[in-house]
Amino acid sequence: MTWTAAQILEEMLAFSDGDLHDIDHLIRVWTYAKTIGELEGLDPDTQYVLEAAAIVHDIACPLCREKYGNTDGRRQEEEGAPMAREFLRGAGMSDAQLERVVYLVGRHHTFTGVDGADYQILLEADFLANACENGYPRERVEAFLDRVVRTAAGERLIRSVLRV
Ligand SMILES: [Fe+2]
């Protein structure tokens, strides 16, 4: 049996070990990613990969804080990809699904070479969550809308939540 998104979340909550900041963030990113994906009409396989990637995308954050003293994006991508592969080893996904999730975790701070709706929506959902948590200035939100956002649903949610 392949893990459902809820089962992946349950495992990731346990992995987060009571860090409420990390837990709040991953729940927020998952919810926005799930919502944008459904509003955009993704096929079930792409939607599943997107949700799995959203839940585990910051899996390397605790390790990066410990090892490097920060959560620098590039390091997180490098450390996170193999951690995601290991974490999801027992999830029963197809090889293609697993490798795509790993790929997305390894690129979630990279705004170039976006090669699919799952990747695009993960960037949008993570930005929206981070903007909520950190109170990004309006210019930063406008620039992201201008340069990165590609989905209509992502733009609607960002404008609605952040009131830009
Ligand atoms: Fe994130």
Cα separation, 24 vs 132, whole angstroms: 11
- Whole-number Å distance, alpha carbon 131 to ligand 1 midpoint, is 11
Ordered structural domains, the chain, with CATH: 5-162 (1.10.3210.10)
Query: Averaged over 45-74, what is the pLDDT?
Result: 95
Q: What are phi and psi of 5, to 5 degrees?
A: -60, -40
With tokens 């910051």, the residue in question is 58
Ranges of H-type helices in 40-147:
44-56, 61-68, 73-87, 95-105, 117-134, 138-147
Q: What average pLDDT does the structure give for the chain? A: 97
Centre of ligand 1 to C-alpha 44, Å, is 23
For the segment 18-27, the average pLDDT, to the nearest whole number, is: 98
| Residues 104, 49: Cα–Cα separation, whole Å | 9
Which tens digits make up the pLDDT trace of 60-97? 999 999 999 998 899 999 999 999 999 999 999 999 99
What is the per-residue pLDDT across 131-151, written as a single tens digit (0 to 9) for each? Answer: 999 999 999 999 999 999 999
Q: What is the percent of the chain where pLDDT is above 70? A: 100
pTM of the model: 0.97
What is the rounded (10 degree) CA torsion for 93, 96, 98, 104? -140
